[in-house]
Structure formats: structure tokens, C-alpha cells
């Protein structure tokens, strides 16, 4: 559609190149943030087996910047579209006054309106914190680390570790929520500020990129599991051949 507009002269070719570069930059930024992690260093206590003492092992607890995924954006956009749906439903009935109220409100929160920016960003940030709190429990993670003999360096196991993980998770969630709100609102802001049609929606972009990344990670893990199974089968065959030769 953008190329057709440039051919007809409605859109400058230079502006088309700028839009394409900006779209690629936004996609790269989304991929960069979605792959970003905050790794909390974890040490395992020394294990004594007979006369031998094993040195403590070091691992990491990965925390993604965007723990909530695309669910907050979907919920926020659905809530903003809800008044328009109610207005359309009441428009078919005899209660015209209620329909007018919902229609006026839907126009106030429509795309490009200042109230739409504020409500959309606020709902995304709210749902990011709510969904992250529902999906990730720092107390449960701290208890599992304590049971497994693991601890965070400089932090006491148990409640102190849970508070530390919760603090780190809150900061990451805030960064992730601001990032999601910015990406979702950037195309609308460009359309309002420059009056240039931006054909890449922020919500659809986030959904497509996150879904594609999840699909690629699942395919990669599936291929790695098949490679691991083939290696184990080859190792078992070699062991069987050597034992038969003996």
C-alpha cells in the first residue's frame, strides 16, 4: 500500500525509505528487548561426599525484561475498543441517549486522540505489572532455591532473597512496560505529528515479532532434542559394539 502511494505520487519516495528504515529499526529494537535478560548470579553450597568436597557451582537465574509478553497490549487495546462496541450495540436499539454517550466517549478515546495515548499507555503498564505478578512468584522462586541448596551472593536465603528478586523484577517490569507502551504508541504518534501514513501498527508488530520469536525458539529446542537423542543412540550403539567385541 505504501509503495502504491509512492507510485501515484501521494507519498514521497524519500519518505517511503525513511518509513522502511524506521520500521526495520523498530523491529530490531523489539527483538533486542525481547531477548534481553537480567541474570542473577546463584551459588550452590559445597557438597561433601566422603573425603571429597566438591567446589560450589555457579549458575544464573534469568529474568526477562518483558516477562508479560504481548498479553498487556492485547488487553489494553481490547478495553479501548469496548466503548465503541457498546455504542454500536446500543445504536441498534431504542436507547439513543446511551448510544450517544458511548459514541462521544469512543471518539474521545479514538486513535490519535490525547486521551487514547494516556489510557493506552496506562493500561499497558498496569497489565504488565498485574500479569507479571500472576505468572512469576518471587517467594516461590526463593523457596525453591533454598530447598535446592542455592543462594544469591550477599543475600540471605528465604525472605531476603524473595525481596531482592521482587525488587529486580519490579524494575525490569517497569522498563518492559515503558518499552511496550512506546512501541505500541509510536506509529500513532508519528501519524499525528507528521501527518504521514504509517502502515505498521505497534500492537500488530509486537504480536508478530513475539510470536515468531517463540516459534523459532520452540523449533530450535525441538531440533536440539532430536540431535541429543541421535547422539545418545550413537553412544549406546558404540558401547554395545565394544562390549560385544569383548
Mean pLDDT (whole number) for 176-198:
80
In terms of pLDDT, which residue wins out, 22 or 5? 22
Q: Which residues contact 197 (CB under 8 A, 6 or more apart)?
A: 2, 5, 11, 191
**Structural domain boundaries of the chain?**
39-202
- At the top level of CATH, the class of 39-202 is mainly alpha
Q: Is a pLDDT exceeding 90 seen at residue 125?
A: yes
Of 240 and 74, which is predicted with more confidence? Answer: 74
Task: Give me the torsion for CA of 68, 72, 75, 76, rounded to 10°.
Answer: 180
Q: What percent of the chain has pLDDT over 90?
A: 16
More confident residue, 191 or 135: 135
- How far, in Å, CA of 101 to CA of 103, rounded? 5
Mean pLDDT for the stretch of residues 43-63: 70
Q: CA torsion 92→96→102→104, rounded to 10°?
A: 120
Return the axis-axis angle of helices 159-194 and 71-91, rounded to nearest 10°. 50
**Cα–Cα distance, 69 to 172 (Å, whole number):** 13
Cα(217)–Cα(35) distance, integer angstroms: 11
How many CA atoms, within 13 angstroms, populate the side-chain half-sphere of residue 83? 16
* Whole-number pLDDT of residue 240: 47
Name the pLDDT band for 197 (thresholds 50, 70, 90). Answer: low
**Residues 152-172 pLDDT 10s:** 888 888 889 999 999 999 999
From residue 165, alpha-carbon distances to 39, 54, 158 in Å are: 11, 27, 11
Mean pLDDT of 202-224: 81
Amino acid at each position: 500500500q505504501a509503495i502504491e502511494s509512492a507510485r501515484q505520487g501521494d507519498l514521497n519516495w524519500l519518505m517511503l525509505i525513511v518509513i522502511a528504515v524506521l520500521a526495520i529499526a523498530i523491529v530490531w529494537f523489539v527483538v533486542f528487548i525481547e531477548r534481553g535478560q537480567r541474570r542473577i548470579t546463584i551459588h550452590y553450597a559445597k557438597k561433601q561426599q566422603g573425603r571429597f568436597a566438591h567446589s560450589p557451582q555457579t549458575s544464573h537465574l534469568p529474568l526477562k525484561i518483558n516477562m508479560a509478553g504481548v498479553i498487556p497490549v492485547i488487553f489494553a487495546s481490547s478495553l479501548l475498543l469496548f466503548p465503541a462496541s457498546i455504542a454500536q450495540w446500543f445504536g441498534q436499539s431504542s436507547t439513543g441517549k446511551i448510544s450517544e454517550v458511548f459514541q462521544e466517549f469512543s471518539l474521545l478515546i479514538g486513535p490519535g486522540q490525547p486521551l487514547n495515548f494516556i489510557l493506552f499507555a496506562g493500561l499497558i503498564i498496569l497489565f504488565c505489572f498485574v500479569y507479571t505478578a500472576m505468572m512469576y512468584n518471587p517467594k516461590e522462586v526463593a523457596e525453591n532455591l533454598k530447598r535446592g541448596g542455592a543462594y544469591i551472593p550477599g543475600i540471605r536465603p528465604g525472605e531476603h532473597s524473595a525481596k531482592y528478586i521482587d525488587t529486580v523484577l519490579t524494575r525490569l517490569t517497569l522498563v518492559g512496560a515503558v518499552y511496550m507502551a512506546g512501541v505500541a504508541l509510536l506509529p500513532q504518534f508519528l501519524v499525528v505529528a507528521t501527518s504521514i501514513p504509517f502502515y505498521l501498527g505497534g500492537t500488530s508488530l509486537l504480536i508478530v515479532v513475539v510470536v515468531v520469536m517463540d516459534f523459532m525458539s520452540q523449533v530450535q529446542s525441538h531440533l536440539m532434542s532430536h540431535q541429543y537423542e541421535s547422539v545418545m543412540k550413537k553412544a549406546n550403539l558404540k558401547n554395545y559394539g565394544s562390549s560385544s567385541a569383548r
